[in-house]
Structures are given as structure tokens and as C-alpha cells.
Amino acid sequence: MTPILELDDVRKHYTTRSGLARRTSSVRAVDGVSLRLERGETLGLVGESGCGKSTLARTLVLLEKPDSGEIRFDGRPVAVTDAASLRRDAQIVFQDPYTSLPPHMKVRRIIAEPLMIHRIASGAELRARVDELIADVGLPGTVADKLPGQLSGGQRQRVSIARALALEPSLLIADESVSALDVSVQAQILNLLNGLRERHGLTLLFVSHDIGVVTYVSQRIAVMYLGKIVEMGPTADVYGNALHPYTRALMAAVPSMEHRGRERIEVRGDPPDPRHPPPGCAYHPRCPIAQDICRVESPPVREWLPGRHAACHFALDGVSDGRNTG
């Protein structure tokens, strides 16, 4: 089956001016990303703050124009002119349920708005559709007449999801949409997203800096570092036996994932300044297994095992000697 979304070598760089001299510097927020999303799956996108996750999410629904590379939606190249229809078919649920809803609008109106703007429903039909969406995200009908400020964080998140579902998208992107919530509420939202995916045949791109959360909901995960995908593969395989030392470090940093004698490796130090990435492999200054080649040669993404991609000169080292098998 044709993947719902394919990216080939997509780049998005930002140029900024700063300092007294107004010197320009460039940030390679998304630096040659290739990936595919299969229909009906959940792909988790994970990486530290600033690695380019949101830029990638925004670029792939053309909220940002890519500098280069190709994006295909449902097999068709997405010319920038298709942006409106693509944005309808691919919806983003934003990060913070506390600020992403208009505070003076009642929930019914918030969810109805996309249906009104696109002239999809009006009158009794609109009312019925909104009630249906409210029920679909597990909210009681009484929230319809409330303002966002009268709802809990989890309820607001559900309202955001209902609003995103109103136009019946085939792809839903959830960008850090649970991190502002406490753990038990997070789990409920993750379960809701999973249920919606199954009921509506949705494809999900789940974006978070928390690899524990990402592995919980995703069939496959993609790990991003400084604008590049450094590892991608089925969650169960990556969880049991990551190919990239950065993935291993991210997993070791999650307390609940540190178990069964998994080697404890910290993500050492801060991420490098994205305006001045290190030469060679961008991860080498923090990498416990870096060799000379890593300091000079940037490793391309390779498929080392079926369905398992990594950008590391020594991707199979942790696999062959079983060090990373937990």
C-alpha cells in the first residue's frame, strides 16, 4: 500500500541575525530528513529540545515551506499550492492545552469553527456533529457550554483533539501534546489517541522529547538529533536493542525504562549549539563509543537490519556483542 506520507531529503534551515554586528547565522533545523509513514500506524518522533521535531512536523504539513526535498502525500508530490487541502487532511494538535484554545470561546464554538469555515455543516447538523465529536473524545456533553478556563488540562487536550478531528483528517500530528499534563492524565490521552486511530483508521505522528511516552504509543520510532534522523525502526526492536548510542542514552535517562540490567549511559552534556554543529557526526562530542572517523565523517542513514535504520559508523557494535540486549 502507498505510504500516507513520504519525505525525501527534506531540509528547512533558518537564518537569523543577532549581536551588535547583526551577524547572520544559520540553523539547520531540519537537515536532510527522509521518512515514510504507513497508513494506520503511529510513528513516534523523539529527541531533545531544539533538535527540530516541531519544525519537521510543521514542514510536513506545509505550515513551513521546505527549502529543498520532496514531500509526497498519498503518493502525490505536494506542491506548495496544495497547502490548503493538505492542511485539512493532516491536522496538528498543539503542545499546550492551556494556551492553544481561545479563552473566550465556548467549547461548542471551538469545535464547530473548522466545520463552519469549510462550510461542511450548519444548523442542527452542525450541532449534532459537534456533540458526536465531544462524545468521540470521551467528554461529557455538558462541556459544550463551558469555556476552556472551566476545564481541566486533560479535558482541554480532548477539546483540542476533537477540534482537530472535525475535518476528518487522515493524519493527526500530536506535538508534545501530553507533556504539560500529569502522568495519569497523559496515559488517558495516549489511550484516547490510540483508540481514535483504531476507530477512524487514522495515522498518527506522535512528537515528544520523552522516549518513554513515545515507545508506549508508537509502532515505530524515529530519533532525531540536531536536524537529522539518527535512528528509525520498529519500537519493540529499538527498545530491546537500539542501534544508535544516542537512542541508548535517551532510554537510559528515563527512570521507568532503566531495568533488567540495561547499561546506564547518560546523555552527556548539553546538545551542541545548532548554529555551530560539530564536524563529522554531530553526536561525537557526547558519544561514549566515538572513534577517529566520527570526528571527521558524518555517517549517512543506512538500513543495517531489515526495517532498521541508523546513522552511526558503529551501529552494529552494540548488537553483535549483546551489550545492549537488556
Distance from chain centroid for Cα 61:
12
Distance from chain centroid for Cα 290:
28
Residue 178 near residue 186, CB atoms below 8 Å: yes
Q: Which CB sits closer to ligand ATP, 95 or 203? A: 95
What is the C-alpha separation between 273 and 70, in angstroms, rounded? 27
Q: Which amino acid is at 129?
A: R
Interface with Mg ion in residues 252-281 (CB under 5 A) = none
Segment near ligand ATP (CB under 6 A); pick from 42-50, 96-104, 185-193, 263-271 = 42-50
Interface with ligand ATP in residues 64-123 (CB under 6 A) = none
Q: Which CB sits closer to Mg ion, 53 or 220? A: 53
Residue 59 touches ligand ATP, criterion: CB under 6 A: no
Interface with Mg ion in residues 40-59 (CB under 5 A) = 54
Residue 52 touches ligand ATP, criterion: CB under 6 A: yes
112 by Cβ neighbours in 10 Å (0-12 / 13-18 / 19+) ranks as buried
Interacting residue with ligand ATP among 54, 160, 235, 241 (CB under 6 A): 54
Mask: binding to ligand ATP, 280-309, rule CB under 6 A, as x and -? ------------------------------
What is the C-alpha separation between 162 and 134, in angstroms, rounded? 6
Beta strands in the chain (DSSP E): 5-18, 23-37, 42-46, 68-73, 76-77, 90-93, 171-175, 203-208, 220-225, 228-234, 302-305, 308-310
Closest approach, Cβ 214 to Mg ion, in A, equals 13
Q: Which CB sits closer to ligand ATP, 46 or 196? A: 46
Segment near ligand ATP (CB under 6 A); pick from 46-54, 79-87, 160-168, 196-204 = 46-54
Interacting residue with ligand ATP among 44, 148, 271, 274 (CB under 6 A): 274
Give the count of beta carbons closer than 10 Å to the beta carbon of residue 141.
Answer: 11
What is the C-alpha separation between 192 and 22, in angstroms, rounded? 47
What is the C-alpha separation between 284 and 6, in angstroms, rounded? 29
Interacting residue with ligand ATP among 3, 14, 74, 188 (CB under 6 A): 14
3-state secondary structure of 80: helix
Residue 209 touches ligand ATP, criterion: CB under 6 A: yes
Interacting residue with ligand ATP among 16, 18, 68, 150 (CB under 6 A): 16
136 by Cβ neighbours in 10 Å (0-12 / 13-18 / 19+) ranks as middle
Residue 32 touches ligand ATP, criterion: CB under 6 A: no
Query: Where on the chain is the footprint of Mg ion (CB under 5 A)?
Result: 54
Query: Where on the chain is the footprint of ligand ATP (CB under 6 A)?
Result: 14, 16, 27, 29, 47, 49-55, 176, 209, 274
